[in-house]
A = this chain, B = another copy of it.
């Protein structure tokens, strides 16, 4: 008999969940508002509600586990700590709480690790036992897969590739450091940087696309302009790819890993961005790494959250069932 799990993608606005099989198919899907403003107890109720609904509706077999991808820091014991945009949330043992409500074994990890585990099991990482996962979004998240397993580090905080400083005199990062790659390519930083640079590029199509309101610049707008051949927009992605590539060369050197898989909203910028990342790691990583270095796109796209959380459940809970 095949095995099934439920993957839960806990977002600030919506909780998305789906029944996932061991091949990475989503067989049934649902979502529910997070209503984070009502506090953590309510979020536990919302997650449990959608999990119970899916498990009741699903007829093909037994759901043996639930995996949750959560924002913020998650420690090895499953404590989800101070997730951004979740008011009143301090430290919550989310997996234990959901398990108590649903009677289904539940595990939780942070969303960057979950993305890496998902890619390893169901996506571009299937052929690569060792890779660096990069998620380019509001922040820059990461996960290191070594020999098919996520490297969590002694306290569960490993893989913070967004906070590798690529320039000790660079812009101040939200974390307190300077020149973190996130302070160049994180969504808000990137938008602010583009808005500023547009002062010297008044003919860029980006200005037209936002009707002159530079506060509306987002990565997809820059991509739209780039697709229409806007030189300035193309250069933005070249530069962004260069910054990420500089970070990746250092991380590849440290871990002796020559594959990076890049996902997240910003990664949709496509070929220009990936070409720049590839050129940079090839010219900057140490020779034995550089020769075989590749930076490739995530394969899971919009399904990364649910599939990653499902993969987490398969990885962590599979051995305890028969």
A positions within 8 Å CB-CB of B: 73, 129-130, 144, 146-147, 152-161, 163-169, 175-179, 242-243, 246, 249-251, 253-257, 283-289
Q: Are A152 and B286 in contact (CB under 8 A)?
A: no
* A176 touches which of B175, B246, B283 (Cβ 8 Å): B283
Q: Which of B159, B168, B177, B283 contacts A243 (CB 8 A)?
A: B168
Q: Give the complex CA separation of A249 and B164 in angstroms.
A: 8
Q: Which of B167, B176, B256, B285 contacts A153 (CB 8 A)?
A: B256
Least CB distance from A222 to B in Å reads 21
Contact assessment for A249 and B177 in the assembled complex, using a CB-CB cutoff below 8 Å: yes
A256 and B73 form a contact (CB under 8 A) = no
**Given known contacts A176-B284, A177-B249, A284-B176, A257 and B166 CB-to-CB distance under 8 angstroms:** no
The residues of B that contact A254 with a CB separation of less than 8 Å are: 144, 158-161, 164, 251, 254-255
- CB neighbours (8 Å) of A289 from chain B are 157
Q: Which of A130, A154, A283 has the most CB of B within 10 A?
A: A154
A321 to chain B, nearest CB (A): 28
Q: How far is the CA of A146 from the CA of B288 in the complex (A)?
A: 23
Besides the contacts A147-B154, A158-B256, A160-B253, what 4 more A-B pairs have beta carbons closer than 8 Å? A129-B154, A152-B256, A155-B256, A177-B286
B246→A165 contact, CB < 8 A: yes
CA–CA, A167 and B287, complex, Å: 19
Query: Whose C-beta in chain B lies nearest to the C-beta of A167?
Result: B167
Q: Give the docked Cα–Cα distance between A76 and B246 (Å).
A: 27
Residue of B161, B178, B246, B255 touching A284 (CB-CB under 8 A): B178
* Contacts A158-B256, A256-B156, A257-B153 given; does A167 touch B164 at CB 8 Å: no
Which residues of B have CB within 8 Å of A168? 166-167, 242-243, 246
Q: Inside 8 A of A159's CB, which chain B residues have their CB?
A: 254, 256
List 8 A-B pairs, minimum CB-CB distance, nearest first: A153-B256, A158-B256, A157-B256, A160-B253, A164-B250, A177-B284, A168-B246, A163-B253
Q: Are A256 and B161 in contact (CB under 8 A)?
A: no
A253: nearest residue on chain B (CB-CB)? B160
CB distance from A109 to the nearest CB of B (A): 14
28 contacts between A and B (CB under 8 A): A130-B154, A146-B154, A153-B255, A153-B256, A154-B257, A155-B288, A156-B256, A157-B256, A157-B286, A157-B288, A158-B255, A158-B256, A164-B250, A165-B249, A165-B250, A165-B284, A166-B166, A166-B168, A167-B168, A167-B169, A168-B243, A168-B246, A176-B287, A177-B249, A177-B285, A178-B284, A251-B254, A254-B254
Expressed in whole angstroms, the Cα–Cα distance for A178 and B242 within the complex equals 13
Chain B CB count within 10 A is highest, among A129, A157, A257, A289, for A157
A40 to chain B, nearest CB (A): 20
Cα-based distance from A117 to B167 in the complex (angstroms): 31
A250 to chain B: which residues have CB within 8 Å? 163-165, 250
